Structure formats: structure tokens, C-alpha cells
Amino acid sequence: MKRKPGIWKGRTTMEKIAILGAGNGGHAVAADLGRQGYETSIYSRSAATLEALTARGGVAYTGCFGEGFSPIKTITPNIEEAIDGARIIIITVPTIALTWYAHLLAPYLNESHTVMLNPGHTGGGLHFVQTLREAGNAKEVRTCETITLTYGCRIRGPALVWIPLAMTNLRLAAFPGKHLDALFPTIHTLFPNVVPGTNVLETGLTDLNAMEHPPGMLLNAAWIEHTKGNFRFYFDGVSPAVARVIQGMDDERMRILRALNERAGLDMRVMSFIEYFYEAGLTSRAALESGDMYQALQESEPNKPIQAPDSLDHRYVNEDVGFGLVPMVEIGRWVGIECPTTEALVRLACVMMKRDYWHEGLTLAKMGVDQVPVERVGEFLWEGHL
Amino acid sequence: MKRKPGIWKGRTTMEKIAILGAGNGGHAVAADLGRQGYETSIYSRSAATLEALTARGGVAYTGCFGEGFSPIKTITPNIEEAIDGARIIIITVPTIALTWYAHLLAPYLNESHTVMLNPGHTGGGLHFVQTLREAGNAKEVRTCETITLTYGCRIRGPALVWIPLAMTNLRLAAFPGKHLDALFPTIHTLFPNVVPGTNVLETGLTDLNAMEHPPGMLLNAAWIEHTKGNFRFYFDGVSPAVARVIQGMDDERMRILRALNERAGLDMRVMSFIEYFYEAGLTSRAALESGDMYQALQESEPNKPIQAPDSLDHRYVNEDVGFGLVPMVEIGRWVGIECPTTEALVRLACVMMKRDYWHEGLTLAKMGVDQVPVERVGEFLWEGHL
């Protein structure tokens, strides 16, 4: 199944692919694309993060792709060097860092670039483009995004990444949406696990991490703080009562999607958490058929062994509340759907972490849609502006 | 320190004291009053609950009053028999049961009775009187209440109660408030640990249980469900993040008190959780001086050994949310104070327990104050009506 470069339909020359961010996701993308024979560059704003990669000249991997080593042609903390000659730029950073990356890239991006946010989380792509524009970039940059990282993966040693699974049926949406048809074949060649999504709100509003992580963290706060996370996060940490909160949030999420479809004449799929979870290869057929949230989470074999974080000060709260739940509540407000359960978790997170996630998270203004009437959202998502 | 009956100032004959409810609190009150030489009756709506007491003719006790046995003259599931000849009636039941008791007592109570709710929780006394009125009782029954039970206590065997501590400086308020001066000496003779409170809102808005229990339960949901409560509830279960939620709720509670004082010209004490907690003998002087919620809860020696409940379906949620947090939020709304942290916990409790605590809990209407303008609340609390 090894793919050779240069076989993309309509292309005859190989293109360099730039990977920005050298955390778990950046390591995994470099490993996978290298494994497939692509030429890659990798950038990190922290030179220290790159040391091990530089020392080995690439990244080793284990997991669902077997064992191997992928060379990386350019390993650099210099953004110009990283993106030089690359028309495909894959950003694999926490969404909390996207503002910073948009400012970094604003001077360089233009209509020739395709930027993939891997992942974009909820509203991350809209926020990224809005920040580019605020930073003075008036070009129509083609962006696309998935809701979650294309792999389950963890760095396991110096320049060594473990990739236990590739997500399946992961929706990819573009902004402006009109570019999806042109983009999709390219991205699908790189990531055969993506399927086309309707628009970035459809993908953004399927944020499974935001549904799972904050309840698992906040509703087990003292357990995490007392034991430093010494329990299985998704298995022990999601009891029937916690699963009911996740279900409550999921009901609100689906109400928002339905209201958007109705008010804006859109045709986004309204799928439940359990349906997505099953589609992504994360739970059993029996759980899907039961429709029971607790069963779906208990029967997630890939998630089962994962330990809880050792502190609440973790991206499961800081990212998934501010860049998952806050934009969900904001979009809900926009379409007139109340989200009391989701709001309750945001509020508790603010009090527990002494942070104002309402302010630091993704508001409608940061996503660039506060002036967009809900009725015209379809046009906005397609054209990239009104 | 044993007190003899018949020594109350202005009284020359001994009066029978009726105790309604035969749970932890009923056992402890019967033990303590019996120990002091008073004649008591005890009522339970469940005959089975009374069997052990009947078999022994009273209740044995251990703890802060030493070891002993208190005879109980009348042990009965018949309310007429229980209150016959008693002018002092002490109700020691969960506030969730007060509606039922108000209906039970409505045909019998009149101006000659003093009813003590031990405890009344938040708004329980107002609710009790409002229910009496709705049940057709137009008499001016004298009621009084404490916010929490006058003892720490647990039934430890058949007709055996363990009373590790008597609360200290527990405020007692009357409704109508004008009767406090007349009531107080009598109640103080029975319970030397009470001090006079300003009114039932002052006592009602010092609900330490409502501040501690729901966060401890809901923010450790899976820990409780996974281990069946196998951790120390107040000690392990209140981590720094959980303490910050308690602090957030306490700030809201104090804002309500201040707003009531300002808008209604009242003079209720605005004391913090930590100050009450220290006054009640539940934490250290160092914690009081630090003003730190986490320290105050960690340094509560009486609470430290107490294990968590084995299930979320417990009065720490069902009573403390519906009859502690809901009336707090309602009173907040009444005076224009938002309580987002407290509301967040109520919302989560509703989702987790699949119950509508907003509906089943104490609303302004159930407390009989929904038609009372905030500016006239002082007059209402004093007179018992407008």
C-alpha cells in the first residue's frame, strides 16, 4: 500500500509538504508521510523540541503502520525555511496556539497554499482565517480541517512516535467551502482515512474530545488531584452519571446542528456522539445499537487503557473548554439554542482553573461570524465572506 | 451539668417534648433530651423504624455526652399520640420530607405550639409554614429552626446512636421573627449550643452542607460510582479545585446576603463559610486566619474520617441540591444576584440524576415569598405575613 509521490491526479511534479508543530501530531504526520515516500519539512517554534529529530534526521515509528523510520528533509525553527516551496502546509498544534501560527504565517500565505489544520477543533479554521485577515492577509488562502487528529499517537522516546490507530471516516471540510472539491483528492491521498464533510461547522460541531474530556476531568476533579491521575481516564473515569452529562451535552450539540440546518437551509449531518464514535473505530457495534452513552464509552477498546492526566491543568481542560465548549455555546447562542449543560461545565472550569475561558476561548467574533446573519451562514461558509 | 425538668424560667410544670422523625437526628435528640431528664415522645411514619426503640424502651448513646441510655416515654407511628400534650415539637427529618410533615400536622397545630425544625436547611421553615397555610391551617404557629442538625451523629446499631459532637454557636431563628425573644430561652435550655439569629434568611443562607456536599459529590462522580465511595469524602474528596468551586458558591451566597441587607434594610451577618465553619468547631484557627477554603476543609478534624457515600443517589445530592442550592439561586434571583457557579451545580445534578431539582426543590413560591417585594422582606419575616 506504499504510495509513491507524484501520482496525484493532475500533478506531475512532487511537492514538498510542510508540517508545522512537532508534538505528538507533528511526529505522527512526519512518520506517516515519510513512510509513504513524501518529502517533508517540520517546524517548531521551540528549537529544543527539534533536537532529537535533527539528531536522527527523521522520526521512528511503531504501531498500526508497523515499525520503521521516516527521514525528514528539513527540520527547522525557521518558518521561511520550513514552508519554502511547500504548497501544502499541515498545522498540527493545539488550537490554543492557532492565533500565534496565523500571525506567523500571515506574511507568506496566498491563493497557492492549502493549509490543513490537523485538527481544527470547533471553529478553529474560522478563527485561523479570521486571524490571518486581522493580521493583514487579504488573500483567499485555501484551508481545510478535521475535527480531531488523524491518528491516535504519542511520542514514546527521542524522535520515536507510537501510532496505535488511524481514525476512520474522519470528515474533512474546507473554508471557503467552494474549494473542497479541488482540495479533497490531494488531502485524501495523504490521509486516506478522510471523507468529505459538508462545511467547517459540520466538522466543528462533531467535537468528540470536547464532549468527553471536560466532563471526565471536572467531574473527577479530586480523584485526579488526589491520585495524580492514577486511574483509567475513559474507562474508570466515565461512570454512568458522567456519561449522562456527556449525553446531555451531546443533545445540546445536536440541537444546534438541527437549528442551523433549519434556519440556514443547510444539509449538515446530525449524527450522535455514539454514531461518530463508532464510525471512527472507537466503540463496538453493540454499543452503537444500544444507543447508550455509558456502554459506548466502556466499550472503547482503543481508549480503555489510557490513564488520566496527572493534573487538571491540561489540554483536556484548557483546550477542550476554551476551544471546544465555548465556541459550541457561542454558536448555540447565535442560532438561539440554549446549552445549559455545556455552559455549566464551562462555568465550573472557569472557577476551578481560575481562568476566564469565556474570554480566552473562541467567541463568535474570533471566528469572524459575529456579523453573519444565521440565515446567510451557508453563503458565508461557501464563499469565505459575505 | 445534668438539667432537671421543670426549671425553665416562668414555667412550673414539666412539658412533654415531641420528636418527629427517628433517623440519626431523632435518635440523637431523644438521647440528649432524655439524658437531661426530659420526658420525650418519638414519632416515625415507619413503624419498622421504631421497632428497636420500642424493644429497648429508649435509646442508648455514646460520644461527646459519654455513654448512657435515655428512656423514651412514647414511641409511636401515631401522630396524635406523639404530640398529645406536647407544646414543643421538634422535627428532625430531611427537608425533603417537610411538605409531608406539614400536611400531617396541619390539623393539630395552633398558637400554643412551638415547632423547631432541627434542621430547617435553606428556606425550609418558610416552606413548612407556607405548606401549613396551604393545608388550611390559619393559626400563627411559632416555628424556629437551625440551619443544620444540632449534633454530628449516626445510628450505630439497634436503638444506639453515636454523637461525636454537638455543634457550637448554631444560630436559631424564628418565623414569625417577633416570637424569637419568647422562644429562645426555652430552646436554649434544651440545646445550649444555639445562639440567636437575626431571621430565617440569615440562618437559611448559611447552609454549609449545601456548599460542601454537592461539589464533593458531583465533582467526584466517577470516583464515587467506581469505588462505591471508598475515600474520605471531606478530606480526599475536596481537592484544591473542588475547594475553589465551594469558594465560588460561597462568594455568591455572601453577595445575596449583602444585597438583601442593602435592599431590605436588614442587618444580617455576612459571614464566610470559613468563619461559620470555625465557629461551629469544625476547623482550625490557622485555617480561619488563612481564609483559605482548601485549608479550612483539610483541617476539619471532625469531618476528616468520614467516608464518601456509596452512591450519588444520596441526600448529599437530593436534599442539598433541591433544598439547599435551588432556594439559594431562587433567593438570588429575587434580589437580583446571579449565581452562575451554584446554578452550574444544580444543572449538572439534574442531568446526572435525571431529576428536575428546579421543579422539585424550593422555589420562591413554595417558600411563600414570591409575592413579597424584596424591600418589605424584613416586615414579612418579622410578622409572618404582609
Q: What is the CATH number of the domain that holds B344?
A: 1.10.1040.10
Evaluate if residue B29 carries a pLDDT over 80: yes
Collect all residues from B whose CB is shorter than 8 A from any CB in A.
216, 218-226, 231, 236-242, 244-245, 247-248, 312, 340-341, 343-345, 347-348, 351-354
- What mean pLDDT is predicted for residues B93-107? 95
Is residue A280 very low, low, confident or very high in pLDDT (cuts 50, 70, 90)? confident
Which residue in A222, A236, A351 is closest to B220 by CB distance? A222
Q: How far is A354 from chain B (nearest CA, A)?
A: 8
Q: How far is B94 from chain A (nearest CA, A)?
A: 24
| B128 within some domain | yes
Q: How far is B278 from chain A (nearest CA, A)?
A: 23
Q: Scanning every residue of chain A, which has its alpha carbon at the shortest distance from the alpha carbon of B215? A: A219
User: What would the pLDDT profile of B292-311 be if each residue is shown by its tens digit?
Assistant: 999 999 999 989 999 999 99
**B340-353 helix and A340-353 helix, angle to the nearest 10 degrees:** 130
| A5 within some domain | no
Q: Scanning every residue of chain A, which has its alpha carbon at the shortest distance from the alpha carbon of B311? A: A241
Evaluate if residue A12 carries a pLDDT over 60: no
What pLDDT, on a 0 to 100 scale, did the predictor assign at position A6? Answer: 40
B175 and B52 fall within a common domain: yes
d(CA B283, CA B294): 11
B58 and B179 fall within a common domain: yes
- What mean pLDDT is predicted for residues A271-290? 94
B334 and B192 fall within a common domain: no
Q: How far is A344 from chain B (nearest CA, A)?
A: 4
Which residue in B239, B245, B341 is closest to A226 by CB distance? B239
d(CA B288, CA B285): 5
Q: Tell me if A223 and B220 make a contact (CB, 8 A cut-off).
A: yes
A68: CATH: 3.40.50.720
Task: Please answer whether residues B249 and B298 qualify as being in contact, where contact means their C-beta atoms are separated by less than 8 angstroms.
Answer: no
Closest CA to B63 of B337, B272, B302: B302
| A8 within some domain | no
Q: Scanning every residue of chain A, which has its alpha carbon at the shortest distance from the alpha carbon of B313? A: A241
User: What would the pLDDT profile of B81-97 be if each residue is shown by its tens digit?
Assistant: 999 999 999 999 998 89
What pLDDT, on a 0 to 100 scale, did the predictor assign at position A168? Answer: 87
Q: How far is A36 from chain B (nearest CA, A)?
A: 43
Residues 6 or more apart whose Cβ sits within 8 Å of residue A125? A117, A143, A144, A145, A173, A175, A200, A204
Residues of chain A in contact with residue B358, where contact means CB-CB under 8 angstroms, are none
d(CA B13, CA A124): 79
Does the bond joining A176 to the residue before it have cis omega, within 30 degrees of 0?
yes
User: What would the pLDDT profile of B107-133 be if each residue is shown by its tens digit?
Assistant: 999 999 999 999 999 999 999 999 999
What pLDDT, on a 0 to 100 scale, did the predictor assign at position A15? Answer: 74
Which residue in B236, B348, B354 is closest to A222 by CB distance? B236
Which residue in A225, A231, A240 is closest to B225 by CB distance? A240
Residues of chain B in contact with residue A245, where contact means CB-CB under 8 angstroms, are 348, 351-352
Collect all residues from A whose CB is shorter than 8 A from any CB in B.
216, 218-226, 231, 236-242, 244-245, 247-248, 312, 340-341, 343-345, 347-348, 351-354
Cα–Cα distances (Å) from B240 to A222, A226, B20, B235, B244, in that order, read 8, 10, 39, 11, 6
| A6 within some domain | no
The 3-class secondary structure across A108-144, one letter per residue, is CCCCCCEEEECCCCCCHHHHHHHHHHHCCCCCCCEEE
A256 and A191 fall within a common domain: no
Q: Tell me if B225 and A239 make a contact (CB, 8 A cut-off).
A: yes
A161 and A245 fall within a common domain: no
B214 and B179 fall within a common domain: no
Residues constituting chain A: 386
What pLDDT, on a 0 to 100 scale, did the predictor assign at position B14? Answer: 60
Give the end of a domain, one of B197, B232, B261.
B197
The 3-class secondary structure across A146-191, one letter per residue, is CCCCCEEEEEEECCEEEEEEECCCEEEEEECHHHHHHHHHHHHHHC
Residues of chain B in contact with residue A352, where contact means CB-CB under 8 angstroms, are 241-242, 244-245
| B272 within some domain | yes
- What mean pLDDT is predicted for residues A298-310? 94
B178 and B230 fall within a common domain: no
Q: Tell me if A220 and B223 make a contact (CB, 8 A cut-off).
A: yes
What pLDDT, on a 0 to 100 scale, did the predictor assign at position A163? Answer: 96
Q: What percent of chain B has pLDDT over 70?
A: 96
A111 and A231 fall within a common domain: no
Evaluate if residue B9 carries a pLDDT over 90: no
Which residue in A237, A241, A352 is closest to B244 by CB distance? A352
Residues of chain A in contact with residue B220, where contact means CB-CB under 8 angstroms, are 219-223
Closest CA to A127 of A370, A386, A376, A378: A370
Other CB atoms within a 10 A radius of the CB of residue B128 amount to: 26
Residue B331 corresponds to which cell in the numbers above? 433567593
Q: How far is A88 from chain B (nearest CA, A)?
A: 43
Q: Scanning every residue of chain A, which has its alpha carbon at the shortest distance from the alpha carbon of B218? A: A219
A53 and A170 fall within a common domain: yes
Evaluate if residue B237 carries a pLDDT over 80: yes
Give the end of a domain, one of A170, A201, A232.
A201
User: What would the pLDDT profile of A150-203 be if each residue is shown by its tens digit?
Assistant: 998 999 999 999 999 898 889 999 999 999 999 999 999 999 999 999 999 999
Q: Could you list the residue range(s) of the whole structural domain that residue A52 is in? A: 16-201
What's the mean pLDDT when you consider all of chain B? 94
Evaluate if residue B4 carries a pLDDT over 80: no
Number of domains in chain A: 2
- What mean pLDDT is predicted for residues B134-162? 95
Output the CA torsion A204→B354→A317→B210 (10° steps).
150
Give the end of a domain, one of A201, A229, A260.
A201
Residues of chain A in contact with residue B343, where contact means CB-CB under 8 angstroms, are 344, 347
Which residue in A247, A312, A345 is closest to B241 by CB distance? A312
d(CA A183, CA A174): 8
Task: Please answer whether residues A19 and A140 qualify as being in contact, where contact means their C-beta atoms are separated by less than 8 angstroms.
Answer: no
Cα–Cα distances (Å) from B276 to B171, B172, B208, B240, B262, in that order, read 10, 14, 8, 20, 22
Residue A250 corresponds to which cell in the numbers above? 451531546
B43 and B180 fall within a common domain: yes
d(CA A283, CA B172): 56
Residues of chain B in contact with residue A216, where contact means CB-CB under 8 angstroms, are 222
d(CA B142, CA A384): 70
Residue A345 corresponds to which cell in the numbers above? 461545565
Q: How far is B270 from chain A (nearest CA, A)?
A: 22
User: What would the pLDDT profile of B34-81 be if each residue is shown by its tens digit?
Assistant: 999 999 999 999 999 999 999 999 999 999 999 999 999 999 999 999
Task: Please answer whether residues B47 and B82 qualify as being in contact, where contact means their C-beta atoms are separated by less than 8 angstroms.
Answer: no
Q: Tell me if B241 and A231 make a contact (CB, 8 A cut-off).
A: no
Evaluate if residue B340 carries a pLDDT over 70: yes
User: What would the pLDDT profile of A105-138 be if each residue is shown by its tens digit?
Assistant: 999 999 999 999 999 999 999 999 999 999 999 9
What pLDDT, on a 0 to 100 scale, did the predictor assign at position A14? Answer: 60
Evaluate if residue B1 carries a pLDDT over 70: no
A220 and A195 fall within a common domain: no
- What mean pLDDT is predicted for residues B370-379? 96
| B111 within some domain | yes
| A351 within some domain | yes
d(CA B278, CA A104): 54
Other CB atoms within a 10 A radius of the CB of residue B286 amount to: 11
Q: Tell me if B222 and A241 make a contact (CB, 8 A cut-off).
A: yes
User: What would the pLDDT profile of A18-63 be if each residue is shown by its tens digit?
Assistant: 999 999 999 999 999 999 999 999 999 999 999 999 999 999 999 9
Cα–Cα distances (Å) from A193 to A121, A146, A184, B213, B313, in that order, read 17, 11, 12, 46, 43
| B10 within some domain | no
Question: Cell 437526628 sits at which residue?
Answer: B25
Evaluate if residue B13 carries a pLDDT over 60: no
B224 and B187 fall within a common domain: no
d(CA A353, CA A356): 9
Q: Tell me if B225 and A244 make a contact (CB, 8 A cut-off).
A: no
Q: Which of A163-167, A331-335, B284-288 has the lowest mean pLDDT?
A: A163-167
What's the mean pLDDT when you consider all of chain A? 94
Residues of chain B in contact with residue A221, where contact means CB-CB under 8 angstroms, are 219-220, 239, 241-242
Q: Tell me if A221 and B231 make a contact (CB, 8 A cut-off).
A: no
d(CA B373, CA B119): 27
Residue B205 corresponds to which cell in the numbers above? 443562607
The region that residue A20 occupies, defined by phi over 0 for left and psi between -120 and 50 for alpha, beta otherwise, is: beta
Residues of chain A in contact with residue B219, where contact means CB-CB under 8 angstroms, are 218-222, 348
Closest CA to B140 of B117, B113, B120: B113
The count of CB pairs under 8 A between chains A and B is 105
Q: What percent of chain B has pLDDT over 90?
A: 93
Residues of chain B in contact with residue A353, where contact means CB-CB under 8 angstroms, are 241
User: What would the pLDDT profile of A204-251 be if each residue is shown by its tens digit?
Assistant: 999 999 999 999 999 999 999 999 999 999 999 999 999 999 999 999
Evaluate if residue A302 carries a pLDDT over 90: no
